[in-house]
Chains A and B, each alone.
Chain A
Amino acid sequence: MNLILSGLIFTPLLAALVVLLMPTRLQKPMKVTALLGTLVQMALSVLLYLRFDGSAPANGHTGYQFVEKLDWISFSLGSLGRFQIEYFVGVDGVSISMVLLTGIVGVIGVISSWTINKNVKGYFLLYLLLVTSVMGCFLALDFFLFYLFFEFMLLPMYFLIGIWGGPKREYAAIKFFIYTLVGSLLILIVMIGLYTSVIDPQATAWQMNLIGQGIPADANVIRQVQQMLQQGVISNADIVRTFSIPAMMEPANFIPGSLLHVLSGVSLFDLPIRFVAFLLVFAGFLIKVPSVPVHTWLPDAHVEAPTPISVLLAAVLLKVGGYGLIRIVYPVFPDAGAYFATLVGGLGVLSIIYGALCALAMNDLKKLIAYSSVSHMGFVLLGLASLTAEGVNGAIYMMFSHGIISAMLFLVVGVIYDRAHDRMILNFRGLAKRMPAYTAFVVIAFFASLGLPGFSGFIAELLVLLGSFGAPEATGMLPRWLAIVAVFGILLAAAYYLWALQRMFFGKYWIFPELREKASISDLDRREYLMLVPLAILALLFGIFPHLLLDKVSIAVSGFTELVLLNGQEQLNMVLSTIIP
């Protein structure tokens, strides 16, 4: 069995254990250990990326590569059959980009943390735990495992913001914790509903003695089990319920009579219960994305978090939200996904415009970038809602590209904050005179983020807009005006970035008098180059050669859109037929 995925998840955990066992005064070796841990993880993620076969067929519930599947928890529910949780990890075109991103940003974060000198042991311990759980989230294919990693991100983050953060850190930390916990509780409700409704055909076949224990079932046996299930001839005691996400994507695996079965006919608040479930789990991930109106935790968390944690938060943690929508919400509830496409796309466009307007109004450079994140994540929602191949490819591309670019943006904010202990836009003028190299990177980062052709952000926005423009004809999903409004978001992005650039960096050099005593305005040092140069290269590389990423992603995306569109329409008709007489 290939253990590369476990290696990816547990390397930082191993490093965390080493850090834990080190005596407190060995600060430098701890940093080196953390760096080594994340470097190995990055090497593994690059290796995985290169070895991943992007041309292999994938259709949503199959086509996972490097799969590892082990029994974890399994117990009998008496007359209600069995229930099983597996250690089930795998990678497909959707997750491969996120894995690569996490690997890269993990290392950048450690380099950026080099100047941390307050309680170093605790810091790197939490940092490594955080990286472990993010990676676990992107690789888990068992809902329980996913949820475990998803929830486990909260705690390290709470402490990283709460202990090492800025002046209002306690408020920001608790706000972050409560918001995301409420989100994950909404997901929990649906997770419970799903696992009590879904069987694992493979394990059920073993339980029924259709095939010998441990012998993998072929497609015929699986189909036979599914048919028997739908006919209701499998006795309760033989049913094996599962948390497996791929199993949840097949309507044939739902137990007839269970609430989330397409034909259950149960409705709540005049909506079919599957739609309610979709809305709950969608809201749960929406908080993480974050989208307007549940985004307010993000600016607070970003402003108070130390630079490396902001980098990690913007670059990878937010991606878990969008990833969850693609991995779980849409494939499991394609009917509701099709039904609510306008809502999803509308929230996306609202985030794009509202986030951009807020960014325009900000005086704090870090808050400006935080709101620009909200705006960019809106494109992910819009692309996804279109359900066209271009749109979904664009959504994934946006997540990847935003990961690279937002890491850069928060790093450049960190640079000025380290020097002046302040980051108010109006307190600085003409920085380009004193910090030319720094200004160059700021310009690169800003232009990459506002979608200048040649940078990865451009490809992402282009794909999303193409997808959503074409959606009315291709999939019949979104009204055209949504895409048109979204374009204004790009204009606004240009406005807030260029305005900030003009105010802070151009003109005669001046900084606010009270800052002058403490500030030592010097240009970038070697450590900062080490972080910014690779990110800038990546942003350019993926902007000029988009196929580097799309080759790995697009087959899985086509599988995804086909699954969601075909199953979605079919299931939508079934669901509606049971509700409307």
Chain B
Amino acid sequence: MEEQAAQLTQAIDSIISGAGTLLPEFLLAGFFLLLVTLDLFKSKTIKRLLPWLALTGLFSALILQVIGPPASEGVQFLNLLRSDGLARYASILFSVAGISTILLSLQNRKIEKRRQGEGRGEYYALLLMLVLGLNLMAKSVNLLMVFLAIEVVSIASYILTLTLKEEKRAVEAGLKYVLYGTLSAGVMLYGMSFFYGLTGSLDYTLVSFWQSLLDANTLMVTLAAILVFAGFFFKISAAPFHFWAPDVYQGAPMPVVALFSTGPKMAGIIVILRFVAAFGDPSIAASFGDIQLFLGVAALATLAVGNLTALWQRTPRRLMAFSSVSHAGFLLMGLMAFGTNYTSSILFYMTVLLFMNFGLFLFLQMAEEEWQVKKLEDFQGLGKQAPFAGIMALLYLLSLTGLPPLAGFMGKLLVFSSVWEAYTLSGQPLLLVLLVGGILLTGVALFYYIKIPYYLFLKRNQTEENLVISLSNKLLLVFFGLPLLVLFFKPDLLLHWIEKLLA
């Protein structure tokens, strides 16, 4: 009895001592509750305040993360979470993604119109919840915690997809997403239970966890690993678990799509990265080859499927869905460069991806709402009528393709360099195949990305009248575009910081 009491006290103490590093998460949870509560009031003033409150919450979380508590290497909450530099940088990205989503939502007429009617607060509250889930995903070092965090993200995602529930497309997307999502969650949990049965532990960053896996039946481990990774791949929309992406991208509100194309994808990659990083320990490093083969094939398949399928898409939303699949492939490829400083390359790539995706989705949102663009052909001649927006769209698209002088090129260069470096170190032919395949698929990527500028600038419209863009939209376009130029010409500014956080 006494012993138990002592253990309990110890556990509580460790929870309390770790709580400090989780301040941003507590803050987000607090704001989430605040928003839900305030949403109950009917007052118009309060309703109008909701998005700004959510913004405040995310912004204060961001500030806490940037200046925040010095990253502690230790684990918190009874070995469930780890607040290291990796998690901290990822959380910063998630907060920026959340802020950007809200900024996009404020420009979105349909979402704003809903705010006049019923259920206004839920949208912004759910965004906070999603970001909270993402933060937890990046911090989890325990399979159960990973599962819980992913579910928090998923549940928020399902509802957010359905924000505009009076639209048929949205309902279809929402339903598909829930069905696929719950299935993949179940599969993942099943795989995790195998892992637990085989190792008796849920902490996958422990060397002992992997050692007992290596000792176990190979078939069982492979099966379990495939099941678990199916769940992860679903979240990052990697092939062959990407089928939900085009439908969801087609049906969800644009800001939510922008968030899906960045936040959960990054968090999923961080989770896999923690899996991969466990092999840094020399005693199990030798067996990395198998998981490398598995991830490498997945990366190549994702790159190929994403890039080649994107070629046949007729609507900008579906095009971007497959583009985001291909970027998942690039991120997975970055993970292959294990043994080099691949982490900073991946984090850099993610940062760039965040800005270019949000920028382009903002442009697509403008195009859809103001100029009724539904298909790629509808972009015809708009570049001449709205030159500023057209040029900014061109900038984002070129960055997505990976052409200089934009940060997308730097991101790709860093990822490719780490892969080359890893190939030099290991001589693994798969890496060379990935490298060459990845680079050549960039050429394919140009072919579909250039379709939008092609219609914008090369095709002409009957009318030539100038289209007006609101100042806030213009500012936002610049806000997302500027980092792409800065990070090309001075990537070391960010890389130094990332290296410092990771050290």
Contacts and interface: CB of A to CB of B under 8 A. Distances in A.
A97 interface: no
Contacts of A162: 454, 457-458
Contact of A192 (B344, B403, B405, B417): B417
B454 A170 contact: yes
Interface stretch (A69-77, A453-461, A539-547): A69-77
B492 A80 contact: no
A188 B403 CA distance: 11
Given A148-B405, A181-B446, A192-B416, A163 B457 contact: yes
Q: Is the interface of A mostly helix, strand, loop or mixed?
A: helix
A178 B443 contact: yes
B417 A174 contact: no
B447 A151 contact: no
A427 interface: no
Nearest to B498: A75
Contact of B458 (A77, A151, A173, A196): A173
Interface string B478-489: 000000000001
Contacts of B443: 178, 181-182, 185
Interface in A160-210: 162-163, 169-170, 173-174, 177-178, 181-182, 185, 188-189, 192-193, 195-197
A259 interface: yes
A192 B413 contact: yes
A159 interface: yes
A185 B443 CA distance: 7
B458 A152 contact: no
B442 interface: yes
Nearest to A72: B489
A214 interface: no
Interface string A132-171: 0000000000000001100110110011001100000110
B386 to A, nearest CB: 14
Contacts of B384: 119
A365 B439 CA distance: 38
Q: Is the interface of B mostly helix, strand, loop or mixed?
A: helix
A178 B446 contact: yes
A82 to B, nearest CB: 10
A193 B492 contact: no
Contacts of A163: 457-458
A79 B424 CA distance: 15
A189 B412 CA distance: 11
A4 interface: no
A196 B459 CA distance: 43
A174 B439 contact: no
Of the listed residues A75, A76, A173, A195, the one surrounded by the most CB atoms of chain B closer than 10 A to its CB is A75
B439 A75 contact: no
Interface in A252-293: 257-259, 266, 268
A74 B404 contact: no
B496 interface: yes
A513 interface: no
B449 to A, nearest CB: 11
B450 A73 contact: no
A191 to B, nearest CB: 9
Contact of A258 (B417, B424, B432, B495): B424
Contacts of A177: 446, 450
A162 to B, nearest CB: 4
Given A74-B492, A147-B404, A152-B404, A80 B421 contact: yes
A78 interface: yes
B491 to A, nearest CB: 6
A323 to B, nearest CB: 19
Contacts of A188: 413, 416, 439
Given A147-B404, A192-B416, A76 B499 contact: yes
Contacts of B442: 181, 185
Nearest to B419: A192
Nearest to A259: B424
Contacts, number: 91
A79 B421 CA distance: 12
Contacts of B340: 77, 80
B490 interface: yes
Interface in B408-464: 409, 413, 416-417, 420-421, 423-424, 427, 432, 435-436, 439-440, 442-443, 446-447, 450, 454, 457-459
B457 A155 contact: no
B417 A75 contact: no
Given A169-B458, A185-B439, A185-B443, A174 B450 contact: yes
B79 interface: no
Interface in B372-409: 384, 398, 403-405, 409
A195 B427 contact: no
A189 B436 contact: yes
A74 B403 CA distance: 20
Interface size class of A (residues with CB under 8 A): 35 or more
Nearest to A280: B436
Contacts of A76: 496, 499
Contacts of A75: 491-492, 495-496, 499
A193 B340 CA distance: 15
Contacts of B423: 259
A152 B485 CA distance: 14
A391 B258 CA distance: 57
A151 B406 CA distance: 11
B341 interface: yes
A10 B423 CA distance: 39
Contacts of A258: 424
Contact of A189 (B341, B435, B446, B454): B435
Contacts of B403: 151, 154-155, 181
Contact of B439 (A79, A151, A189, A266): A189
A73 B499 CA distance: 15
A258 B423 CA distance: 10
Nearest to B459: A170
Nearest to B416: A192
A178 B454 CA distance: 13
B424 A80 contact: no
A170 B417 contact: no
Contacts of A268: 432
B321 to A, nearest CB: 23
Contact of B447 (A74, A173, A178): A178
A155 B398 contact: yes
Interface string B171-194: 000000000000000000000000
A159 B457 contact: yes
Contacts of B440: 182, 185
A336 to B, nearest CB: 18
Contact of A196 (B398, B420, B432): B420
A185 B495 CA distance: 24
Interface in A210-259: 257-259
B422 to A, nearest CB: 10
Nearest to A257: B424
A492 B72 CA distance: 76
Contacts of B491: 73, 75
Nearest to A119: B384
Contacts of B427: 266
A119 to B, nearest CB: 8
B439 to A, nearest CB: 5
9 contacts: A78-B344, A159-B457, A178-B447, A181-B442, A182-B443, A192-B417, A196-B421, A258-B424, A259-B423
Interface of B: 340-341, 344, 384, 398, 403-405, 409, 413, 416-417, 420-421, 423-424, 427, 432, 435-436, 439-440, 442-443, 446-447, 450, 454, 457-459, 489-492, 495-496, 499
Given A78-B341, A178-B446, A192-B413, 18 more contacts: A73-B492, A74-B492, A75-B492, A76-B499, A79-B341, A170-B458, A174-B454, A178-B447, A181-B442, A181-B446, A182-B440, A185-B439, A185-B440, A185-B442, A192-B417, A192-B420, A196-B417, A196-B420
Interface of A: 72-80, 119, 147-148, 151-152, 154-155, 158-159, 162-163, 169-170, 173-174, 177-178, 181-182, 185, 188-189, 192-193, 195-197, 257-259, 266, 268
